[in-house]
Amino acid sequence: MNAISCIVLTQNKRPDNLRRGVESLLQQQGVTTDIIVVGNGVTPEGLDQEIRVMTLPENVGIPGGRNAGISKGSGDLVFFLDDDAFLDGKDFLERAAGMFKDDPTLGLVQPRVRDPDGMPTPRRFVPRLRIGDPDRGGDVVNVWEGACVIRRDALESAGAWPEEFFYMHEGIDLSWRVMDAGYAVRYCTEICAYHSAVPPERHAQGRYMSARNRVWLAKRNLPAALGAIYILAWFLIDTTRLRNLAVFREHLRGYYDGVRLPCARRSPISWNTIMRMARLGRPPII
């Protein structure tokens, strides 16, 4: 297996965290790494000279920025790391590479994610409908995008990250399409990354993106009847969680625009994939 392409996307808002994450990549042993830091509308600064830096002229969103980094690497495996996350141990990537070597059907892996200050593990870090024990791994239907390893062949078969999403729910889209390409998506708790458990700010724009992309997930990936159920279910779930009027307006606008506006290329996943999801406890209706 050749070098692992490690892609870190940044807007230079957290330079200390970025350096910490990159340093955890530089410390990896047992594998060759090709580290690419992508500046999303900025020029990354203060990094080691052996780090490859890519500057995008404008902010193209999280999926678009990651895709730009993919094009600069050639590793059989591609590792994506948020600029405020870092790895536990110097053998993280070596152990991850071993998992892919041992199982040719493995397409996408999310590690166990812990808070560096010992806070409880939030729901978004455990890719299951019922969290249960966060230390219990297994095959899953989606991943948290902030630290994940993917086989390049699976990434190409899935069509990479959905750039039109800009941000929010791109990990669900990628996971579904990796599964539809015949690969397994797995939550592997034998390896660990760190990221703050403090919830991201739920500003109005974020709520808009979340709502719009929920609809686009269905329009892009699901058979029509199932997609309608998925959209309705998530509209009701999201609506019951909202308390702020301004955010509620953006929530409604997001769902409206999701229905009204065209999404990325539509290519529904197969019913075989949908049945695999159901057997894993998460059919694409919730």
Q: What is the pLDDT of residues 1-56, one digit of tens each?
A: 668 999 999 999 999 999 999 999 999 999 999 999 999 999 998 898 889 999 99
What is the rounded average pLDDT of the residues 82-108?
A: 98
pLDDT exceeds cutoff 90 at 131:
no
Query: pLDDT tens for residues 55-83?
Result: 999 999 999 999 999 999 999 999 999 99
Domain boundaries, the chain: 4-194, 204-269
Enter the pTM of the model.
0.95
| Alpha carbon distances (Å) from 121 to 125, 155, 239 | 7, 28, 25
Condensed to tens digits (0 to 9), the pLDDT of residues 167-195 reads 999 999 999 999 999 999 999 999 999 99
pLDDT in tens, 215-259: 999 999 999 999 999 999 999 999 998 888 888 999 999 999 999
CATH homologous superfamily of 4-194 equals: Spore Coat Polysaccharide Biosynthesis Protein SpsA; Chain A (3.90.550.10)
The CA distance from 171 to 213, in Å, is: 11
**Looking at the predicted structure, is the pLDDT value of residue 85 above 90?**
yes
Identify the pLDDT of residue 204.
Answer: 79
pLDDT for res 202: 58
Which token pair is 24?
Answer: 């955890």
Q: Is 147 exposed, middle or buried (0-12, 13-18, 19+ CB in 10 A)?
A: buried
Lowest average pLDDT, out of 93-102, 130-139, 150-159, goes to 130-139
